[in-house]
Structure 1
Amino acid sequence: MEQEPLLLYATPVIVLAVLLEYFITRHDDHKKYDGPDFRASLGIGLGSLVINGLFKTLIVGASLFFYELVPWRLPTSGWVWVVAYLAIDFCNYLAHYLGHRVRLLWATHVTHHSSEHLNFSTAFRNSWTQHLKIVFFIPVWLMGIHPVIVFTCYQLDLLYQFWIHTEVIPKLPRWVEYVFVTPSHHRVHHGKNEQYIDKNFGTTFILWDRLFGTFQEEDERPVYGITKPLESQNVVYLNFHEWTDIWRDLRRARSLRQVLGILFGPP
């Protein structure tokens, strides 16, 4: 199975959007791009692309393995595409939620929240260890949906998340805000304001958050970043500082209960 990554075709649009946002915000002290922050986002993003390439064969192989385990096959009809997209979006919601609630998974996600700014380049901050969340998509592979459909829907869901990382787009019409994840919703998610922490985990549809009680309206300006101050903008540090902290805490653990608490307790 081989397919052209949608990201390849979306790259010119992404680059244009970054340049346009930079031009629009260059005179705004609050929203303008910060040099070291942008370089860190770019470095993390480029490293993530390399790692994604290295893991591509493993992920494709895993999807085919689970696809072949089930005896049924769903057709390639339009409704199956809808089901696949909804299933992937829900799995992303679940992975995202647990990525904030389980420390081991937070270590694979904290990199994305490391910036104290929110702009299109923040979307590049995909952790180099994020592939651990692949286990959350096994149920989709077991649905009997052709892997090409699954991967295409996954890439569409991933690309959707790019445009919500910005402060230049205000709140949208009410019906859009009710159904879809918007920049307003995602600004809340990246905020470390007390009422914003661990809210709005949706990737395409905000309906999951409304359904499961994790929704929060944007009612004050977010303060971005994580609650623990970071010591460096070095891309290696930004990807592995939480793993280092986990290892330090594990070495101090004196019981299995402490070990489990360190790994699976809240960050």
Structure 2
Amino acid sequence: MHFPLFGAAPIPFDDLHTIEKNIPNIILWAVPVMLFFTVIEMVVTYYQEKEFYEKKETIGSILVGLGNLVVTAGLKVGLLYLCIWVYNLIPWRMELQWWTLIPCYVIYDFFSYWAHRVSHEQRFWWATHVVHHSGEHYNLTVSYRLSWIQHLKIIFFLPVAFMGFHPIIFFVTNQIAVLFQFWVHTEYIRRLPAWVEYIFATPSNHRVHHGTQDQYIDKNFGATFIFWDRIFGTFEPEIEPVTYGITTNIPNKANPIFINFHELTDMARDVKQAKGLRKKLFYIFGSPIKIAEEKKQQEIREAVDSEVAV
């Protein structure tokens, strides 16, 4: 029996390139618009003598963004193959109906919240996300700072694919979700009407997420909808001015290789030096905050031992 929505025919893998061509390149089309508004923000910042941009950091953001576009383009066919494989595996496949984009987007954003939250709570996933937080200035170029290995997090979104959404719907949803986050990375849009702030991850809500103050750390994970944070107890309003960056800011601000892989390098060194399997696993999957606290305490102990030895 063929239902109006469910029960769509499997997609032959021979049609993979046809499906790929039918997926609109929304992000690619949006790049000129993003650059246009970024340049406007830069010019306004310059004439207002605001300290929203820093030369080396801006160069780093742009280079990271360009690299991410290359990586994404290179992985597109492989990710599409995976989505088609999942789509063909299940019997409740949905027809290609554009209105299914709405439920797909809401469900996708729910899993995005948890993927984002786990990326802050476990160091392995933090290494795929720290790139985005390493900027010490908040501006539109921060939205370009997307890790070159962030696609590992596709594992968090497989439940969405297993719900039977058409692969084209899944890919369009992903692109819109990424583009939504462009406009929230600015100081120029202050608080919006209360109902907007209650529902959406606005610039005000997202500035909090990038804060290094104690009350702001690990808050406001929502990508499009902030009500996930309200539901799961991670919401924090913007009250005091936000201090941006990470708890230990990086030195090589213009080097995209360093920006992308410094945390992985540190993690590998910590694992190598750690004694025992439990400690090694802690340095891979432990909380980045607890790992930083432990390393700080270890430095203090080593300093005290050094003074005693002298």
TM-score of the pair, normalised by structure 2: 0.83
Give 1:87-126 correspondences, 5 Å limit: 87-126=107-146
Superposition pairs for residues 183-198 of structure 1, below 5 Å?
Answer: 183-198=203-218
Query: Deviations 1:5-45 (Å, cap 9, x if unpaired)?
Result: 10122122111110111122114444432111110100111
Alpha-carbon distance in 1 for matches of 2:175, 2:99: 18
Whether 1:156 and 2:187 are equivalent positions in the alignment is: no
Say which is worse superposed, 250-259 or 44-53, in terms of deviation.
Answer: 250-259
Distance in 1 (CA, whole Å) between partners of 2:262 and 2:183 is 27
Residue 255 of structure 1 corresponds to 276
Q: Aligned residue for 2:156? A: 136
In the alignment, the residues of structure 1 paired with residue 79 and residue 163 of structure 2 have an alpha-carbon distance, to the nearest angstrom, of: 17
1:169 corresponding residue in structure 2 = 189
The residue type equivalent to 2:148 in the other structure is: W
Picking from 242, 248, 262, the partner of 1:241 is 262
Q: Deviations over 1:210-265 (max 9, x none)?
A: 10001000001000000012121121111111001110011122222112211111
1:264 and 1:6 map into 2 onto residues whose CA distance is: 35
Q: What SS does structure 1 have at the residue aligned with 2:215?
A: helix
> 1:46 corresponds to which residue?
66
Using the size of structure 1 for normalisation, the TM-score is 0.96
Q: d(CA) in 2 for partners of 1:77 and 1:66? A: 18
Alignment partner of 1:26: what SS?
helix
Structure 1 spans left out of the alignment, 5+ residues: none
| Residue 202 (structure 2) aligns with | 182
1:78 CA drift (Å):
5.4
Please tell me whether residue 224 in structure 1 is matched to residue 235 in structure 2.
no
Question: Percent identity among equivalent residues?
Answer: 46
Aligned AA for 2:282? G
Match of 1:20 in 2: 40
Question: Structure 1 residue 69 and structure 2 residue 89: aligned?
Answer: yes
Equivalent residues of 2:24, 2:172 under 8 A apart: no
- On the 8 A contact 1:31/1:167 being kept in 2, the answer is no
- Tell me the amino acid that sits aligned with residue 262 of structure 1: Y
Assess if the C-alpha contact under 8 Å between 2:98 and 2:169 holds in 1: no
Q: Which runs of 4+ in 1 moved over 4 A?
A: none
> Given that residues 52 and 138 in structure 2 are in contact (C-alpha distance below 8 angstroms), is that contact kept between their aligned partners in structure 1?
no
Give the stretch that moved more between structures: 174-183 or 1-10: 1-10
Structure 2, unpaired ranges of 5+: 1-18, 289-310
CA separation in 2, counterparts of 1:28 and 1:239? 32
Amino acid in the other structure paired with 1:97: R
Quote the Cα distance in structure 1 between the aligned partners of 2:194 and 2:110. Answer: 22
Match of 2:287 in 1: 266
Separation of aligned partners in 1, 2:96 and 2:63:
38
* Paired residue type of 2:79: I
Q: Using the alignment, how far apart are the partners of 1:54 and 1:157 within structure 2?
A: 20
Between the two proteins, the alignment pairs up a number of residues equal to 267
Match in the other structure for 2:234? 214
- Residue type matched to 2:155 in 1? V
Other structure's SS at 2:205 match: helix
Q: CA deviation at 1:77?
A: 4.1
